[in-house]
Amino acid sequence: GGSGLYISGMHVKIDRNRPQGDRVVSFEIGGEPYVPDKEYRLVTTDYLLEGNSGMKKLLSLRNQTAIESGVYMRDSLIEYIKEFSPLEPKLDGRWQWVDSKQ
């Protein structure tokens, strides 16, 4: 396992045998390699943006442009379930462990 944001459209490959701080083998967003200086849009809840649930790094985003949608995630989820039921959950491989041999 591991902890981190589970971002839709993100794929990360991790080698746990590499030194800490150098374990990310590849990181893609929307099928494209992550570009550090590029601006990305993040949709999240107030709860996570306030650093809860271990997401302290999101606190630094408070100074960025935040747009309040006025839509509750609960309501969006209910509408999604109504529209796309029955749901068929599946793994999408957002996080992959590709450990090298030591």
Question: What CA–CA distance (Å, rounded) separates 88 from 18?
Answer: 36
pLDDT number for residue 15: 96
Asked if residues 16 and 99 have their Cβ atoms less than 8 Å apart, the reply is yes
Using CB atoms within 10 Å of the CB of residue 61, give its burial: 0 to 12 exposed, 13 to 18 middle, 19+ buried: middle
Task: Please name every residue paired with 54 in a beta bridge, in sequence order, or none if there are none.
Answer: none
Query: pLDDT tens track of the chain, all 102 residues?
Result: 445 667 788 999 999 999 999 999 999 999 999 998 888 888 888 888 788 888 887 777 766 777 788 888 889 999 999 999 999 988 888 889 999 887
